[in-house]
Structure 1
Amino acid sequence: MSYPGYPPTGYPPFPGYPPAGQESSFPPPGQYPYSSGFSPMGGGAYPPAPSGSYPGAGGYPTPGGYPAAGGYPVTPHPGGAPAYPGGGFPGGQMPGGQMPGGQMPSQYPGGQAPYPSQPAAMTQGTQGTIRPASNFDAMRDAEILRKAMKGFGTDEQAIVDVVSNRSNDQRQQIKAAFKTMYGKDLIKDLKSELSGNMEELILALFMPSTYYDAWSLRKAMQGAGTQERVLIEILCTRTNQEIRDIVRCYQSEFGRDLEKDIKSDTSGHFERLLVSMCQGNRDENQSVNHQMAQEDAQRLYQAGEGKLGTDESCFNMILATRSFPQLKATMEAYSRMANRDLLSSVSREFSGYIESGLKAILQCALNRPAFFAERLYYSMKGAGTDDSTLVRIVVTRSEIDLVQIKQIFTQMYQKTLSTMIASDTSGDYRKLLMAIVGQ
């Protein structure tokens, strides 16, 4: 099966790629279109679950149970070592006071982790802020974009109005119509008219969703250094089908094996966790086995808090294979048995990126929208803005669960996502972000 506007020619190449003289054919010719189960919308939304089972009923803590937006207290790590930057995270403090993986300390006064459980009202199916436009006409939209870029100056507002009100699938059709009508590549035209964060945001919106995830992973491991938090954000949160599609797309578009790249760019227990995630073999049965939850809680306790040292492989096995509803039940059983929440135990037993990865999985089991809300908050908190993270999450969640992310963001930080975006961005970039997020 082929998709209109695919391959995505004209996307920003990585340093040293494509080879000199071959820029017009990036990515390499003959490797498109990539099919075998590819969904132009990246697999669509996470499947709605039966009421109360995914990730499970619960309730938000009272507003007083959330930390103030100004920051989270850090409880010293046992033994006196700091629990956060300087205490185990590679490279120490992130720019703008961010923590690797966008994680917050899990130890709070009273031992309560404030990470909210997803209430029953949000388990009936998630919702994006962008829906497919009705009365859609790809040729009309292509004409609007052509006029917006023709002549002197660029009508950015016209571009914003079109791209923020079309689904990813419809944007692929606009790309195909543009080339049919004008014999030109829409992406190349847009790149020549735009720059900076606005260009990055527009290009992300026009990439097929699976390609964008694969492209983001490649970019995170390209060149010197590795953006581990990007690997965590994508590989620890996607569904099995999405991960399998990403792995295939990564191979077909970049001619590389994702698992091999991960092994060459990461190490130790963190590498093993990401390799496990790459398999796309997590149990996705929505029913919960409470006996297994009790047994897994006991095993995790014996592998961590209940012994000197940590059996990391036990944590990897359980967190990489169990379904998210099952993990949520395990966390509840663990809290009853150990009188401590599992997130806190992971903070005590692990450090660095393996800690961030394990916590990301547990946080998604409790409340996936809250995980992304937290990542968005820390992308903008403090000096400077992590624009790549802001763009990536807004774009990838815009058709899946951005409505729920906005709701929980307000609950967690006592301010709306759009307010924070408005104060941290400017110009057409801000206009387009605000149009996607909505008020």
Structure 2
Amino acid sequence: MSYGSYPAQQGGPPPSHSPQPGYGPPTSPYNQAAHQYNQAPPQASYPPPMGYPPQGYPPSQQRSNAPPGGGYPPPQGGYGGPPAQGQWGQPFPQPGYGQAPPPGPYGQAPPPTPPYSGSFPPQPQAYAQGGQFPPVQQGGYGMPPTPQYPPQPMVGAPALPSPGYDPHHVVPVDMTSTADTIRAAMKGFGTDDKTLINALAKLDPIQIAGLQQAYTTRIRRDLEKDITSETSGYYREALLAIVRGPLLHDVYCVRKAIKGIGTNEDMLSDVLVGRSNADMRAIQAAYQQTFRKDMVTEVADDLSLDTKQHFKMIMAATRNEESSPVNPQQLEQDLNSLYEATEGKVGTAKLQICEILTNRSDGQIRAIAQQYQQRFQRSLDAVIRSKLSGHMEETLLLQLAKATDRAMSDATQLEAAMKGMGTKDELLIQRVVRAHWNRQHLEQVKGAYRHKYHKALVDRVKGETSGHYKELMEKCLT
């Protein structure tokens, strides 16, 4: 249990993604033939299809014919969601891969889907200083070092950056009142922590960017420095994670994961695995802007051997876009390649597995996982566990889990930060704050957590934290 102060080195084994009893792949899609992906799950089935894509991750199934790992209606306002139907032309001709929306989250009726304009809401300047990110140099992202496994061409319209990840889009939002409230809460003797928590915990990325600017121009002070001087411990760390906004928080997490002796593998994977191409590039550009260092080089230098090559693939930002269809011929080739790389011969072709799971879209990975189970009567998750180990195993499992059921993956990751002896507070803060940016996805995570662990996520977090740190985490989750 944490008490708002820094304990000894936080660590622990990487989180596991093995399904719990009573939870497994969607029954009907896994037992269907390839041409039956369009059949909706039964009314009360679980796991639910993929929920709203969380902040900073690829939107699910943008005009894709992928099998349902999700299908919840997109949240109002986008959060990286798909444009209006038809924006990318007519549906892809392969019949049978599309699907009707499922009944709703966790057996409930689906919420009404508001019309979506097809345009992406403009986004705020990510930094109060107003500077633009310099373009990342050619080749700075790093390319997969295994030319025998070239990535698929990116078919379909590229996803736009998530809110808070594009500093070129600015939304005028008046946050002067909030800036005044926060300054008053920290001014003078002592800190009004209740006011500070209430003012910050519910702000979205656009409001955070507006607050940063208002605090700098109106108060003429640095918000991060004020919070750093007025608070302490994990309470301070959580407040800083919020006021930095989603993009800069990711940048600081990457830096923290690789600085010093050793690598915080869980923290690094949390930030980099499963990201959209647009957001991955934004993180790299912001890292360069903040630390004057190339992120790809720094991360690669902290890793070794095949894991280094795997993360260079991930940071290359060459994933197929979620608007890309599931191509039956490519699906067949991927299934055969995965089988040959794992079970079909002596030894394991690790980088071949990495290439497929790194460069395919979430929808394509769902199709691969479903068809692998159907054809070989074994889950791809179980095969990876049996053939690989260490950081590469955990990274591949996380790639698979985020693609097949992101809400359940996030719920499992949150539990992993709390289980065992001592709470991994830095990971808990990172995971709670990242989930809270998208309130609709957060509700899916909370539902998945209750389904798997039979308790409320907020109660679990409250039991592992204390003081103002606990109050802030609770406010973020409710």
Q: What CA distance in whole angstroms lies between the structure 2 residues aligned with 1:291 and 1:149?
A: 61
Q: 1:337 to 1:110 in 2, by over 3 A?
A: farther
User: In the alignment, is the contact (CA less than 8 A) between 1:324 and 1:365 conserved in 2?
Assistant: yes
1:427 to 467, 470, 473: 467
Q: Report the equivalent of 1:99.
A: 13
Q: What CA distance in whole angstroms lies between the structure 2 residues aligned with 1:179 and 1:110?
A: 51
What is the deviation of 1:249?
1.1
User: In the alignment, is the contact (CA less than 8 A) between 2:287 and 2:294 conserved in 1?
Assistant: yes
What is the deviation of 1:116?
4.4
Task: Report whether the alignment pairs 1:410 with 2:450.
Answer: yes
1:118 to 36, 40, 49: 49
Q: What amino acid sits opposite 1:200 in the alignment?
A: E
Q: What CA distance in whole angstroms lies between the structure 2 residues aligned with 1:127 and 1:370?
A: 22
Q: What amino acid sits opposite 2:446 in the alignment?
A: K
What is the deviation of 1:178?
2.5
1:206 to 243, 249, 268: 243
| TM value normalised by structure 1 | 0.72
Other structure's SS at 1:165 match: coil
Q: Report the equivalent of 1:347.
A: 385
What is the deviation of 1:153?
1.7
Deviates more, 1:342-351 or 1:114-123: 114-123
User: In the alignment, is the contact (CA less than 8 A) between 2:23 and 2:47 conserved in 1?
Assistant: no
1:245 to 282, 285, 307: 282
Deviates more, 1:379-388 or 1:198-207: 379-388
Q: Which has the higher helix share?
A: 1
Q: Report the equivalent of 2:266.
A: 229
**Structure 2 gaps, min length 5:** 1-8, 27-45, 51-67, 80-162, 165-171
Q: What CA distance in whole angstroms lies between the structure 2 residues aligned with 1:258 and 1:317?
A: 20
1:396-433 deviations in Å (ceiling 9; x for gaps): 22123212111111111111110101111111111111
Q: What CA distance in whole angstroms lies between the structure 2 residues aligned with 1:212 and 1:387?
A: 15
Other structure's SS at 1:329 match: helix
User: In the alignment, is the contact (CA less than 8 A) between 1:290 and 1:329 conserved in 2?
Assistant: no
Other structure's SS at 1:365 match: helix
User: In the alignment, is the contact (CA less than 8 A) between 2:174 and 2:210 conserved in 1?
Assistant: no
2:189 to 143, 152, 175: 152
Q: 1:427 to 1:110 in 2, by over 3 A?
A: closer
Q: Report the equivalent of 2:306.
A: 269
Q: Report the equivalent of 2:405.
A: 367
Task: Report whether the alignment pairs 1:303 with 2:369.
Answer: no
Q: How do 1:121-132 and structure 2 match up within 5 A?
A: 122-125=71-74
Q: 1:179 to 1:262 in 2, by over 3 A?
A: closer
Q: What CA distance in whole angstroms lies between the structure 1 residues aligned with 2:204 and 2:300?
A: 35
Q: What CA distance in whole angstroms lies between the structure 1 residues aligned with 2:255 and 2:10?
A: 22
Q: How do 1:181-196 and structure 2 match up within 5 A?
A: 181-196=218-233
Q: How do 1:1-40 and structure 2 match up within 5 A?
A: none
Q: What CA distance in whole angstroms lies between the structure 2 residues aligned with 1:344 and 1:406?
A: 26
1:369-404 deviations in Å (ceiling 9; x for gaps): 211111100101122111111111111221232121
1:332 to 362, 367, 370: 370
| TM value normalised by structure 2 | 0.66
Q: What CA distance in whole angstroms lies between the structure 1 residues aligned with 2:266 and 2:326?
A: 30
The percentage of counterpart residues that share the same residue type is: 31
What is the deviation of 1:352?
0.3
**Structure 1 gaps, min length 5:** 1-93
What is the deviation of 1:286?
4.3
Q: 1:301 to 1:109 in 2, by over 3 A?
A: farther
User: In the alignment, is the contact (CA less than 8 A) between 2:369 and 2:380 conserved in 1?
Assistant: yes
Give the count of matched residue pairs: 339
User: In the alignment, is the contact (CA less than 8 A) between 1:164 and 1:435 conserved in 2?
Assistant: yes
User: In the alignment, is the contact (CA less than 8 A) between 2:341 and 2:353 conserved in 1?
Assistant: yes
Q: 1:437 to 1:127 in 2, by over 3 A?
A: farther
What is the deviation of 1:109?
8.5
Q: How do 1:67-106 and structure 2 match up within 5 A?
A: 98-100=12-14, 102-105=15-18
1:389 to 397, 414, 427: 427
Deviates more, 1:418-427 or 1:171-180: 171-180
Deviates more, 1:115-124 or 1:419-428: 115-124
Q: What CA distance in whole angstroms lies between the structure 2 residues aligned with 1:426 and 1:110?
A: 32
Q: What amino acid sits opposite 1:341 in the alignment?
A: S
User: In the alignment, is the contact (CA less than 8 A) between 2:17 and 2:409 conserved in 1?
Assistant: no
